[in-house]
Structure 1
Amino acid sequence: MAVQACAGCILHARSRRGFAALRHRRPTPAAAGTAQEGGLMPTAVERFDDKARAAFDRIGRNEVYQGELQRHRVYTRFLHWMVAVFFFLSLFSGFGIYLPWLFRWFTPLFGGGPLSRALHPWFGVLFVFFFALQALNWLKPMSWTKADSAWMRRLRSTISGEEKLDPPDTGFFNAGQKVQFWEIVIGCVVYLITGIILWAGARTFGPIAVAFSYILHDISAIIMLGGIFIHMYLSTIGEPGTFQAMTRGAVSEAWAWTFHPAWYKEVTGRDPRRAYEEARQRMEAGRSK
C-alpha cells in the first residue's frame, strides 16, 4: 500500500523537522500489531490485569486496518480516560477551594462550595485508584533503559529539527513519556498522603502537618498540570495521529516508524528507516506524475 493511514497527519509536526510529507489514505481491514502492556507484576495482580484486558476486549472494540498497528487495548484506553476524567474533576473542584476569590465560578458546577469540598477528596481517591491500575498495566514498558538515556541526550536535536525521526532505539514509550509517568506516580503518592492529612485535619495530624500538606499538595498539582498541558499538546498538535491511539487503539505504521522506531521494528520485523525512505520515495514519485 502506498502510504500508511494518518501518515499525512504526521507531516504537520515533522515538516518543521524536515520530515517529508506523506499522503493520507483510508486503510482497509488487516491484522494488527501488538502492544507491550502488562508484565513485571506479582502473579495475582498480573492475573487480574490479564482478566481485565480480556473482559474489556469482549465489550469494547479494537479496530485495526491495513497499514496500522494496535497500540492500546480497550482496558488501557478505559483506564486512561477514567484517569483523565477524575484528574480534571479533582482539579476544577480544587480550584474553587484553593482560590475561591478567583475560581468561585467553578463551585456551582459541583453544587456550591460545601459540596465541592465534600466531593474533591473523593474525586482525588478515584483519580489515584484508576491511575494505580494504569500503573500496574504499564510497569514493564515504563521501566528506564539505556535507550531512554540516549533519547534524553538527543532531545535538543530532535526538537530543533536536526533529527527527522526519533532515535532508532525508541521503544513502546519514549523517555519523555516515562518521565511524565513517574512524575504522576510520585504525584499520586504525594496527593494520597497529603490528601489524607488535609481530609482528617489538624485535630488528627496537627497544624504543622496540615500546613506542610497544603504546600506539597499545591506544588504537586501545579507540576502535574504543567505535564498534562504538554501531554495534551503532544497527543494532538505536536504529534498528529497520537490521539487515535487512545480512542480507536490503533496508529498508522508511519506514526510508529516516526515516533517509536524500535517498537515498529519489534512488531513488524521491518527496518523503520527503510520504511520511511520507501514511503518518501513513493510520495516523491507520485508528485512527479
Structure 2
Amino acid sequence: MPGSLSILSFAPFKTLFAALALLFVLAQPAAAQISFKPTAEAVQEDKLLNALKEGDKISGRVSIPDGNAANLIQPAGRDWRDFHRSKLPWIGGIAILGMLAALAVFLMVRGRIRIEQGFSGKTMLRFASFERFTHWLTASCFIVLALSGLNVSFGRTLILPVFGPEAFATMSAWAKLAHNYLAFPFMLGLVIMFLIWVRDNIPGKLDIEWIKHGGGLFSKGGGHTPAKRFNAGQKGVFWIVIVGGALMSVSGWFLLFPYLPGNVTALQLWTVIHAVIAMLFIAAMLAHIYIGSIGMEGAFDAMGTGEVDLNWAKEHHSLWVEEQQAKGEAPSNGTARAVPAE
C-alpha cells in the first residue's frame, strides 16, 4: 500500500529470512542422509563375511529379466581366476616342456628309428589323396589353434616383454580371430577322420602284443610286432585325437556362444576343461609329430607323398602288407626311388 513500510524493507528482517531459507535448504540433504544412513543392523557385515567364507554368492535385487545380474560377488569366480593365473601355467609347462624333455632324452638314448633292411627302392600306397587332405586340414588348423591358445596362457609372460604391448595386442587380436574361425574346419576334419579311419582303429589282440614289446621302439635290434594298417600306438593317437578333439570342440563351442551354458559357473567349468584338455592334447601331439618326422625314418612319407617304402611297411605293418598284396594292390615291382647312401 502506498506510503506503508514493508517488513522486508528492514535490513535485520532480510538477514533473518535469508538465514532461515539457507538453513532449510541445507537441512534437506542432512535429513535425507540421517534417514537413509546404513546401520550395522541393515548391512549385517557378519553375514556377508560368512557368505564369502562359505563360498556363497552375494546377491542383490534387480528389475531386469536376467536374474544373474543380481549377483554382486561370486567367490567361484576368484577360484577360476586363480586357476588361470597360477595353476594352468604350471599344468601346461609340466605337460608340454616335460614332453619335449622326454622326447629329447629318447632321441639321445634311442636315436632315430631306422629301416633295418634299408630302403628297398619300391613303394606302396598307404594313404590316398583325400586321407592326406583330411589329415593336413586337421593338423594345420590344430597348430594354429594350439599356438593362439597358448598365447592366452603364456603370451603375457613370454611374448609381451619381447615384442612390446602394441605388437602383442595386434598379434593377440589376430590370434583370437584365427582361433575362433579355424575351430570350424578343425571340427569338420575330426568328423571326416573318424568316419574314414575308425574301422581300422578298433583295438584288438594284436595291440596287446604290440604294447608288450613296446612296438619295437625301444630295441635297436628289431623285434617289430606284426600289425595291420594301424598299430596300437597309432590307434592310441587316433583315439586321443577323436576324444580330445571332441572335448575341445564341445567346450570351445560353449566359449564361442557363452549364453549356451546357462550361467557363469557352468561357463567357467567349460573354460577349465577346454584349457586343461588343450595342454594335454598339445603334449600328446608333440609326440605324434616327433615320431612321424625325425623320430622314425620313412614315416613322414606316409602323409607326405602317401607312399611308403616296402621295407618300412613290412617292418611296421607286416600284416597290412600281406593283405594289400593278397588284394593285388601292391605291385610286385613297385615304384622306384632313390636309395640314400648311409
Instruction: Give me the TM-score of the superposition, normalised by structure 1.
Output: 0.66
Name the counterpart of 2:257.
200
Give 1:153-192 correspondences, 5 Å limit.
Answer: 153-155=212-214, 158-161=216-219, 164-168=222-226, 170-192=227-249
Whole-angstrom distance in 2 between the partners of 1:229 and 1:159:
17
Whole-angstrom distance in 1 between the partners of 2:261 and 2:287:
38
Kindly indicate whether residue 180 of structure 2 is the aligned counterpart of residue 121 of structure 1: yes
Whole-angstrom distance in 2 between the partners of 1:109 and 1:267:
52
Whole-angstrom distance in 1 between the partners of 2:167 and 2:206:
48
Name the counterpart of 2:145.
90
Name the counterpart of 1:79.
134
Task: Give the percent of matched residue pairs that are identical in Structure 1 and Structure 2.
Answer: 22
Name the counterpart of 2:200.
141
Kindly indicate whether residue 301 of structure 2 is the aligned counterpart of residue 244 of structure 1: yes
Deviation at 1:165, TM superposition (A): 3.7
How many residues align? The count is 213
Assess if the C-alpha contact under 8 Å between 1:257 and 1:264 holds in 2.
yes
Structure 2 residue runs without a partner (length 5+) = 1-110, 327-342
Whole-angstrom distance in 2 between the partners of 1:140 and 1:203:
34
Could you say if the C-alpha distance between residues 238 and 165 of structure 1 is closer, same or farther in structure 2, counting changes exceeding 3 Å? farther
1:218 partner letter:
A
Assess if the C-alpha contact under 8 Å between 2:200 and 2:229 holds in 1.
yes
SS of the aligned residue for 2:217 comes to helix
Could you say if the C-alpha distance between residues 204 and 186 of structure 1 is closer, same or farther in structure 2, counting changes exceeding 3 Å? closer
Q: Which deviates more from structure 2 when the two are superposed, residues 202-211 or residues 213-222? A: 202-211
1:137 partner letter:
I
Whole-angstrom distance in 2 between the partners of 1:84 and 1:194:
19
Name the counterpart of 2:210.
151
- Structure 1, residues 22-57: CA drift from partner, whole Å, max 9, x if none? 3x46x4xxxxxxxxxxxxxxxxxxxxxxxxxxxxxx
Deviation at 1:204, TM superposition (A): 5.2
Instruction: Give me the TM-score of the superposition, normalised by structure 2.
Output: 0.56
Whole-angstrom distance in 1 between the partners of 2:129 and 2:234:
20
Deviation at 1:111, TM superposition (A): 4.7
Could you say if the C-alpha distance between residues 116 and 108 of structure 1 is closer, same or farther in structure 2, counting changes exceeding 3 Å? farther
SS of the aligned residue for 1:224 comes to helix
Assess if the C-alpha contact under 8 Å between 1:69 and 1:250 holds in 2.
yes
Assess if the C-alpha contact under 8 Å between 1:68 and 1:250 holds in 2.
yes
- Structure 1, residues 215-261: CA drift from partner, whole Å, max 9, x if none? 21112111211121111111122221111111211011100111111
Name the counterpart of 1:211.
268
